[in-house]
């Protein structure tokens, strides 16, 4: 070992010295603990996938890929399919991502680009992050008792006057896609906003000064210099937000209406995979549980794909905008 060269150094009278046996032990045990923790997390993920996969195996064998493209969910006849749930999951999450993404990034710009005194910006940021601490069931109740009554007249006006547009093809009766997506957007807002703020903060101040020095206006500096430079961080924020939206359960189970139908209408009731799992598990028999496990596996796969795609886009953005930093 390289450390042997220190063994014959005179230690007396010096504050500096070679690492003691205790230091080595500490170092080794810390490394061991770090390895162990990392391995444990990996093992846990693998275990969950294997466990769910194993329980889903009979359903996979029975229904095959048709499970992903069928719209039936009939315990009586044993026909199961999750296409409406996949559709609802992606549709609601995408809507939430668009809304939450736009507002989240806008808030991040507002808080970091000297629009506000820094102390006030901090207060704002803390308030937004507080949103993340509100339990999902509270969001659900707020959606039922506040958001839906607010949304209903608007939605029904749109339906009455623009009913020909597929997005407004039904009226909003109560639970439906629009309130669910709005609540989802609010729920992912803190994630998107706070990570975007961090990404924008990381840009050295001299970059902005250089941009101004080149004669850019404030908006040119923000849109053409700051945002592209922070793009990988902002994309990471969006991917995380989308992932959160995909898996959100309680608020959606309360707001989306549990309908096994595929509709473009924003006001129609729909369903998501997570809401299906939450609402069907408590009273499911063994056959249905296997199908639900298959659905859980599909949700896992969708999340994995979304994260992989997000990672790829992030890499691309880093290459394009940040390579020369």
Partner 1 sequence: MAIRLLLTAALGLAGMVSLAFGQNPAPTPTTAANERVALRGAGATFPAPLYLKWIDVYTKANPNVAIEYQAIGSGEGTKLFLENTVDFGASDAALTDEQIKRAKAGATLVPATAGALVLAYNLPDMEGKLKLSREVYADIFLGKIREWNDPRIQALNPDLKLPKQTIILVARQDSSGTTYALTHHLSAINEAWRKGPGTGKTVDWPGVSMTARGNEGVAGRIKRSWGSLGYVEYGFAKRLGLPMVHLQNKAGAFVEPNLNSGQAALAANVGQIPSNLRVFLPDPEGQDSYPIVTFTWLLLHDQYPDPRKSAALKGFVGWALADGQRYSGDEGYIPLPDGVATLARAAVDRVR
Q: Which residues pair with 74 in a beta bridge?
A: 79
Binding part of the chain for partner 1, among 33-41, 59-67, 107-115, 275-283 by CB under 8 A, reads 275-283
Residue with tokens 């669910």: 180
174 binds partner 1 (CB under 8 A): yes
166 binds partner 1 (CB under 8 A): no
Shortest Cβ 148–partner 1 spacing (Å) = 8
Binding part of the chain for partner 1, among 7-15, 16-24, 49-57, 251-259 by CB under 8 A, reads 251-259
The alpha carbon of 222 is separated from its chain's Cα centroid by a whole number of angstroms, namely 25
126 binds partner 1 (CB under 8 A): no
Alpha-helical runs (H) found in the chain: 21-63, 66-69, 83-112, 118-131, 136-142, 148-162, 177-201, 205-213, 218-220, 227-229, 231-247, 250-255, 273-280, 286-317
Distance CA 169, CA 158 (A): 9
- Closest by alpha carbon to 297, among 54, 92, 43? 54
- CA 255 vs CA 94, 127, 138, 140, 167: distances in Å: 16, 25, 12, 6, 18
164 binds partner 1 (CB under 8 A): no
Nearer to partner 1, 77 or 118 (CB): 77
Nearer to partner 1, 87 or 267 (CB): 267
Shortest Cβ 216–partner 1 spacing (Å) = 50
Which helix or strand (DSSP H or E) is residue 80 part of? Answer: strand 79-80
Tokens of 92: 């609601």
173 binds partner 1 (CB under 8 A): yes
Asked if residues 79 and 313 have their Cβ atoms less than 8 Å apart, the reply is no
Shortest Cβ 173–partner 1 spacing (Å) = 4
Binders in 129-148 for partner 1, by CB under 8 A: 144, 148
Tokens of 232: 């990988």
Provide CB contacts within 8 A for 111, sequence distance 6+. Answer: 121, 124, 125, 193, 197
Binders in 56-85 for partner 1, by CB under 8 A: 72, 74-77
Shortest Cβ 150–partner 1 spacing (Å) = 13
Judged by CB under 8 A, which of 146, 160, 210, 309 binds partner 1?
A: 160
Judged by CB under 8 A, which of 104, 179, 190, 257 binds partner 1?
A: 257
Nearer to partner 1, 136 or 259 (CB): 259
Judged by CB under 8 A, which of 54, 163, 166, 204 binds partner 1?
A: 163
Binding part of the chain for partner 1, among 60-68, 125-133, 167-175, 193-201 by CB under 8 A, reads 167-175
162 binds partner 1 (CB under 8 A): no
Nearer to partner 1, 100 or 143 (CB): 143
Distance CA 246, CA 261 (A): 18
Nearer to partner 1, 215 or 286 (CB): 286
CA angle 232, 49, 261 (to 5 degrees): 80
Residues contributing to the site for partner 1 (CB under 8 A): 72, 74-77, 144, 148, 152, 156, 159-160, 163, 169-175, 254, 257-261, 263, 267-269, 279-280, 283, 285
């Amino acid at each position: 070992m390289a450390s042997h060269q220190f063994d014959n150094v005179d230690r007396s009278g010096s504050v500096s010295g070679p690492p003691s046996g205790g230091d080595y032990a500490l170092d080794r045990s810390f490394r061991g603990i770090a390895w162990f923790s990392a391995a444990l997390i990996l093992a846990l993920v693998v275990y969950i996938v294997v466990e769910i996969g194993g329980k889903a195996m009979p359903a996979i064998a029975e229904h095959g890929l048709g499970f992903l493209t069928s719209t039936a969910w009939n315990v009586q006849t044993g026909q199961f399919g999750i296409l409406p749930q996949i559709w609802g999951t992606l549709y609601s999450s995408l809507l939430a991502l668009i809304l939450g993404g736009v507002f989240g990034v806008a808030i991040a710009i507002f808080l970091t680009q000297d629009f506000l005194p820094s102390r006030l910006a901090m207060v704002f940021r803390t308030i937004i992050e507080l949103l993340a601490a509100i339990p999902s069931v509270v969001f659900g109740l707020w959606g039922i008792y506040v958001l839906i009554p607010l949304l209903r007249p608007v939605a029904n006006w749109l339906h009455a006057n623009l009913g020909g547009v597929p997005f407004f093809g039904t009226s909003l009766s109560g639970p439906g896609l629009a309130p669910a997506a709005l609540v989802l957007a609010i729920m992912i807002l803190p994630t998107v906003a706070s990570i975007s703020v961090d990404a924008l903060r990381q840009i050295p101040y001299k970059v902005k000064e250089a941009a101004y020095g080149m004669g850019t206006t404030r908006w040119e500096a923000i849109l053409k210099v700051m945002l592209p430079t922070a793009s990988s961080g902002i994309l990471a924020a969006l991917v995380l937000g989308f992932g959160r939206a995909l898996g959100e359960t309680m608020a959606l189970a309360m707001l989306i209406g549990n309908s096994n139908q595929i509709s473009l209408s924003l006001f129609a009731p729909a369903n998501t995979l997570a809401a299906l799992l939450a609402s069907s598990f408590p009273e499911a028999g063994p056959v249905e549980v296997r199908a639900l496990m298959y659905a859980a596996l599909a949700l896992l796969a969708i999340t994995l794909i979304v994260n992989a795609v997000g990672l790829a886009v992030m890499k691309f953005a880093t290459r394009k905008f940040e390579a020369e930093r």
